[in-house]
Amino acid sequence: MNKEEDKIYIIHQILSYGDLKEVQQLFRFYDRKEIKKAFIECPKKIYQPAVFYFIKNFILNLKNEKLKEEDYVRTFF
């Protein structure tokens, strides 16, 4: 994978499926501002509800940011 070309994919995959150690490594790999921008501007519908809110509110500190849950959270029928 290419660090820049696949940035959005890498960020979302690690935020959604990675453990805390992998998330820490993500912040060493990319700047916090880049990660927030990717999360906000390029939503991916791959998150479970609890993971989405944990990443949004605690990891990225976006509590005051109004993001539509349906853009991020996958639903199972």
Q: What is the pLDDT of residues 34-77, one digit of tens each?
A: 999 999 999 999 999 999 999 999 999 999 999 999 999 998 66
User: What is the predicted pLDDT for the residue at 1?
Assistant: 87
Whole-structure pTM value: 0.91
User: What is the predicted pLDDT for the residue at 77?
Assistant: 60
DSSP string, 18-68: --HHHHHHHHHHS-HHHHHHHHHHS--S-B-HHHHHHIIIIIS--TTS---
